[in-house]
Amino acid sequence: HHAQQYRTSPITRDFVDARAGYQAVEQAHKSGGVDGTPFSDTAMIFGLLKVMDPISVAREGEVEAIRTTASLPDRFKNYYNMLKTGQKLNPSQRMDILNTAKHRWQGYVETQVQHESEFKRTGMALGFPGEDVEDLIGNYRPRPGASGTGPIVKDLGDGANIRRKVR
């Protein structure tokens, strides 16, 4: 029961959806090569949207969410509109999508690490083994003592973000 509460909590659900979006951005960036393809560029934008606003994508669908979400900055909506008219994204625009997804994803990882830790601590206090909380972070887990891992973006919940260097 405790493990199910963890798996179905809003924080964990958002993390899982955002992870799928981030993995889609990474895969599309890799498969599109340096210049990208219309398909890979579109997949990157849809993946970014899922990282930026996983709830809207699930509720509205990808195309409608691009049009209506306030979570996706206008430049990415413009990239999508370029693709719809047959234009290609340039390597700088593709890197913009990848880097934006990466920075936002790091905030999800940080939040999930804290959430997982709290669930394990609470569960153990209630007599559940710590292992009943599934490790959903996997290879994305920050290494202990790692320095210079880049900026972490922390979503403040009101559309604003703060950045700080992880030491």
pLDDT number for residue 22: 95
Q: Is the pLDDT of residue 38 over 50?
A: yes
Indicate the pLDDT class of residue 1, thresholds 50, 70 and 90. low
Q: Mean pLDDT over all residues of the chain? A: 80
* 3-state helix/strand/coil string of 13-81: HHHHHHHHHHHHHHHHHHHCCCCCCHHHHHHHHHHHHHHHCHHHHHHHCHHHHHHHCCCCCHHHHHHHH
